Structures are given as C-alpha cells and as structure tokens.
C-alpha cells in the first residue's frame, strides 16, 4: 500500500512539474517586455520495442535459461525502455540547469520511485568561451564515452555490456556530485577536460542506520574521475579516463580509453566509429564479498576485476527524402569479462538496420539481432550465463 501511495504521489508531482513548466515556457515566449527572459526547452523521448527469443528455453527479458516446461520462461515481449521528459533552462547568460525524468520507471508495481528523477543539476559557466564550468547535482559522471550523449543518439540499440556493468558498480550512470569541465579549443588547443566527484552509490536514496537518516550517502569515501579528450586531427577524438575510490579503507579504480571517428565521403555516404576499453574493480562484487563474515582485510580486491571492449562501426546513406532521411547499418561487437578470474567472457554481436524517418533521430525504426555467447555456458537451472539469440524491433520518437 505504501509503495502504491508513493507511486501515485510521484506521478502527481511529476505531472504537475511538466504542466507548470510547459505553461511557464509558453508564458515566457509571449513576454517580450522582459529585459532578460529565461529560455526553457522541453524535449521528450519514447523508446519501445518488441523482442523475440530465438531460443525456446531462454527468457527474452532476463536471459535466464530454464528447460522446465513450467518455468515461466517468456519467449517474446513488448516493453518500454524509456519514456523521458527533459527540461533545459537558461537562467542567465552564464547559468543553466536541466531536469530529466523517466516515466518508464513507473511501469510496474515493484518500481523504485527514487529512480524516476534521473538528472537534476545546475551549471555555472565562468567564461562564455567554455574554458571552465562548474556543475552540481545529479548527472552522469564524465568517465565513459557513453556518458557523453543521451540514449537517443546511441549508435547501437542500447548501452554496451561494459557500460551496464560499470553502472552496477556506480562508476557510470546517474550519480549525485559535482564536476569541473571545460574546452580549450578556442585557445587553439584541441583538448576537453572533465573532473568529477560523486557519492558512488547511485541516485537511489539510501537509508543509513535509521529510518530518519535518508541523506543518500552511506560512507565518507567519494569517487573521483579525471577524463581528457584530445582531437589530433579533425573528426578523430581520443579519450582517456581514470577514476578511483575507497571501500572500507581500501582503494578501487576504473580505467578506460576510447576513440570516436566521423568521416563524410560525400553528400550521400558517411561513416562513424566508436570504441572503448575498460579495466575496473567490480565494486558490487566486493561489497557482496565483504558483507558476510569475511573481514575486508582478508579480501583481495584485485580478485574482483572486470574488463573488456566494444567496437561500433556505422555506415549511413542519406536519402534526403521527405519520409526517409537516412538508412544506417551498424554492428556492435562487445567483449566483456565480468569476472576476470573466472575466465568466462561474454561476447555480444548486435547487427542493426536503422531507418531514420526524421532529422536528428526524431523518429526511427530499428531491426536488431542480438547474439550472446559465453566461453563456458552455465547449464544450471535459472542460469543467465547461457548462450542466447534474439530478434528485436524498436521504435524511437524524440521531440
């Protein structure tokens, strides 16, 4: 009952937020007498899909493998990945803010309502050239290349295995903290820099010791990350980042390196490439190991490491038609070892045919193949470490 009541309250407050700010935006467009009117931009993203498991005994949503006839394995399913509404606000010439909510988090009775608000931050720009910016609130730490763009701009159908694993250990995804960012390009130095500090326990409010204490943090350690991006020649960007933190007094870290390439052959044909390598401590596994009777000093954190890489090449043909802007062919190769010591890497190959029906990915239809292979599939009942094959159809609307 309490969860349902919280859900209704969350929906009511978020609906009120959108209504209020939509009306505010309309009123400010009409207000031409203001000396410095605030600029407000509202955008929405809807991503939904239909997935079909090509393996009879593998659940299409969880990857659970179960050969029992009464196991409840679902072979096909419709689902919403995102129902997002974002507000961007230019408060002054050097202060802006953003709020992002995801209504897809409310789609089931067991949803964590604290996750609905994904992003909420303010930023102060010290120089109009972008040399130095201070950001504070809830946002994606600037560590992985996938942190730098929203899902609707992704070259694949979804985040990489690498990104999802790092998110579970709070190296990536939405976090509460602060950041210093800047670009030196206007000084003729092709360099972007990012320094991020965050709690390191996600965006869910954490209760600490008592029901009265809900400050969203559960220890004194903070995650710190430095990221640099260098553009040696036009349309090639090299990135490197290093993050660190402590858990129960012992150090943990995450290192990554990435590359982005864009090339336009002519008016019709374009190519892009994105690749990233990461080697990091599996924080979630370390916390699990030290939450038992085992003392932290008896646990070697280096036994809980994960690493891997992904490569996403993309070819685009620009039709320039009114109903079909472009067609893209892409294939994500994703090699990931969740536990290096187990030597059982997961390889994902995800070819995708993407039809862009509007500019800037405003509307697109995707046909996706998803092939997951493990070096050693685990054949126990209810195992998710098992080879699987899927076919998916996905639609996206960004407006």
- Residues 87/96, Cβ–Cβ less than 8 Å: no
State pLDDT tens for residues 147-189. Answer: 999 999 999 999 999 999 999 999 999 999 999 999 999 999 9
State pLDDT tens for residues 312-323. Answer: 999 999 998 999
pLDDT the model gives residue 67: 78
pLDDT the model gives residue 84: 96
Residues 6+ apart with CB under 8 A from 91: 38, 97
pLDDT band at 224 (very low <50, low <70, confident <90, very high): very high
Whether 16 has a pLDDT exceeding 90, the answer reads: no
| Tally of structural domains, the chain | 1
> What's the average model confidence in pLDDT over 216-244?
91
Which residues, listed in sequence order, are joined to residue 242 by a DSSP beta bridge? 226, 255
Rounded alpha-carbon distances, angstroms, from residue 270 to 156, 313, 318, 326, 361: 16, 11, 8, 10, 15
Which CATH number covers residue 351?
A: 2.40.160.10
pLDDT the model gives residue 277: 98
pTM: 0.85
pLDDT the model gives residue 295: 65
**Where is average pLDDT lowest: 158-172, 217-231, 353-367?**
217-231
Whether 56 has a pLDDT exceeding 90, the answer reads: no
- Mean pLDDT of all residues belonging to the chain: 86
Residue 58, domain extent = 2-398
261 versus 21: the higher-pLDDT residue is: 261
- What is d(CA 174, CA 267) in angstroms, rounded to the nearest whole number? 37
Q: pLDDT > 90: what percent of the chain?
A: 67
For the chain, how big is the Rg over CA atoms in Å?
22
**Where is average pLDDT lowest: 39-48, 111-120, 248-257, 281-290?**
111-120
pLDDT the model gives residue 109: 63
pLDDT the model gives residue 266: 95
DSSP secondary structure of 202-271: -SS----SSTT---S--SS--EEEEEEEEEEETTEEEEEEEEEEEETTEEEEEEEEEEEEEEE-SSSEEE
Whether 31 has a pLDDT exceeding 60, the answer reads: no
> What's the average model confidence in pLDDT over 209-221?
56
pLDDT the model gives residue 88: 96
> What's the average model confidence in pLDDT over 129-140?
96
List the structure tokens of 64: 């659970």
pLDDT the model gives residue 256: 98
pLDDT band at 124 (very low <50, low <70, confident <90, very high): very high
Whether 5 has a pLDDT exceeding 80, the answer reads: no
């Amino acid at each position: 009952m309490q969860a349902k009541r919280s859900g209704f309250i969350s929906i009511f407050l978020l609906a009120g937020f959108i209504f209020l700010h939509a009306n505010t935006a309309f009123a400010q467009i009409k207000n031409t007498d203001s000396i410095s009117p605030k600029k407000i931009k509202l955008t929405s993203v809807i991503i939904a899909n239909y997935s079909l498991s090509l393996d009879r005994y593998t659940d299409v949503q969880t990857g659970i493998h179960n050969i029992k006839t009464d196991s409840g394995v679902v072979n096909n399913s419709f689902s919403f990945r995102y129902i997002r509404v974002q507000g961007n606000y230019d408060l002054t010439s050097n202060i802006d803010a953003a709020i992002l909510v995801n209504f897809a988090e409310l789609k089931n009775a067991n949803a964590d309502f604290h996750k609905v608000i994904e992003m909420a931050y303010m930023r102060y720009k010290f120089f109009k050239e972008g040399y130095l910016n201070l950001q504070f609130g809830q946002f994606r730490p600037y560590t992985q290349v996938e942190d730098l763009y929203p899902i609707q701009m992704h070259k694949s159908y979804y985040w990489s295995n690498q990104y999802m694993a790092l998110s579970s250990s709070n190296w990536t995804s939405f976090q509460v903290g602060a950041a210093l960012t800047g670009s030196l390009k206007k000084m003729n130095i092709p360099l972007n820099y990012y320094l991020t500090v965050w709690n390191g326990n996600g965006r869910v409010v954490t209760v600490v010791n008592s029901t009265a204490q809900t400050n969203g943090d559960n220890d004194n350690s903070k995650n710190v990350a430095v990221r640099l991006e260098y553009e040696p020649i036009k349309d090639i960007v090299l990135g490197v980042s290093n993050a660190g933190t402590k858990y129960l007094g012992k150090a943990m870290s995450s290192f990554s390196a990435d590359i982005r390439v864009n090339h336009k052959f002519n008016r019709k044909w374009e190519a892009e490439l994105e690749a990233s390598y990461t080697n990091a401590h599996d924080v979630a596994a370390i916390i699990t190991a030290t939450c038992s009777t085992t003392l932290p000093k008896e646990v070697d954190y280096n036994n809980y490491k994960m690493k891997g890489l992904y490569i996403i090449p993309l070819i685009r043909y620009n039709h320039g038609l009114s109903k079909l802007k472009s067609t893209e062919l892409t294939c994500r190769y994703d090699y990931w070892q969740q536990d290096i010591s187990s030597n059982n890497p997961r390889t994902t190959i995800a070819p995708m045919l993407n039809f862009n029906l509007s500019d800037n990915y405003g509307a697109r239809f995707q046909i996706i193949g998803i092939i997951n292979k493990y070096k050693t599939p685990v054949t126990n009942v209810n195992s998710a470490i098992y080879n699987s094959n899927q076919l998916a159809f996905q639609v996206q609307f960004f407006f």
